Amino acid sequence: MHLTFVVVGIIALMMIGMIAAVVTFYKKPKMGQAIIRTRVDGTKVALNQGIMVVPILHRMEVMNVAMTMIHTDFMDENALISKDNIKVNAKINFLLRVNLTPEDILMAANSIGCENSFKQKALQKRYSSKFAETVKTVSKDLTLKEMQDYDNFKWQMLKNMDPDLNGYILDDCIIDYLKENKPQNTNSITA
């Protein structure tokens, strides 16, 4: 009888230990995040479900896959030049996110790094010049009147954007401000 209690106690202790291990090692990503688990035999991405991560056997990183806004400003001396040779001040924002496939999540993680995926400045630095070049190229092919047709201008920008964004995709662009850059009168009257 005494031996039975010892065996039952050991089994109960083992079950509690296994439950504690599962609770400790089971990781589930938050909304807008993915977990990347690396181990000797490969890498696995967990997006909407949990994954077991054993500290000594696995390495875990968290990747931001939520929408990010990239700002581009074309004001005053950096104004856009339209097809009809008019300077145009503009502020355009691009909505960027990681494509939600394991391959693209890994590509984005390899190109910018999991830690940098949470840093707005890192993403801004990486993508703003690419987006700015597209805006400049498109604006050279459109008149001011065509640029003021926001839907057409936006469609032209999205159509001409380089699709290779290293696992990221461009969801949309928002034209916040678009106006002709009228030179200010610098003539002064001297007495």
- Tens of pLDDT, residue by residue over 80-109, are 999 999 999 999 999 999 999 999 999 999
Taking residues 136-143, what's their average pLDDT? 95
pLDDT for the residue numbered 1? 65
- List the single range of 5-9, 13-17, 147-151, 161-165 with lowest mean pLDDT: 5-9
Number of structural domains found in the chain: 2
By residue range, what is the domain housing residue 163?
Answer: 68-180
* pLDDT of 122 above 60: yes
**Distance from C-alpha of 127 to C-alpha of 54, rounded to nearest angstrom:** 35
The residue among 37, 64, 91 that closes a domain is 64
* pLDDT of 4 above 90: no
Q: Tell me the H-state helices in the chain.
A: 2-25, 102-112, 120-140, 144-148, 150-160
The residue among 11, 30, 64 that closes a domain is 64
Based on the domain organization, do 8 and 59 belong to the same domain?
yes
Distance between start and end Cα atoms, the chain: 115
CATH code for the domain in which residue 83 is found: 3.30.479.30
pLDDT for the residue numbered 191? 44
pLDDT higher at 25 or 182: 25
In a domain, 87, yes or no: yes
Per-residue model confidence as pLDDT tens digits over 68-85: 999 999 999 999 999 999
Tell me the percentage of the chain whose pLDDT exceeds 90: 76
**Distance from C-alpha of 126 to C-alpha of 132, rounded to nearest angstrom:** 11
Average per-residue pLDDT for the chain: 91
pLDDT for the residue numbered 9? 87
Tell me the percentage of the chain whose pLDDT exceeds 70: 95
Based on the domain organization, do 77 and 55 belong to the same domain?
no
Based on the domain organization, do 109 and 45 belong to the same domain?
no
Based on the domain organization, do 126 and 41 belong to the same domain?
no
Based on the domain organization, do 115 and 151 belong to the same domain?
yes
pTM as predicted: 0.82
In a domain, 128, yes or no: yes
- Give per-residue burial for 64-91: e unless 16+ CB within 10 Å, then b: bbeebebebbbeeeebbebeeebbbbbe
In a domain, 189, yes or no: no
pLDDT for the residue numbered 184? 61
Per-residue model confidence as pLDDT tens digits over 144-181: 999 999 999 999 999 999 888 999 999 999 999 999 98
**Distance from C-alpha of 80 to C-alpha of 140, rounded to nearest angstrom:** 8
Based on the domain organization, do 74 and 28 belong to the same domain?
no
How many angstroms from the chain centroid is the CA of residue 118? Answer: 8
pLDDT for the residue numbered 91? 97
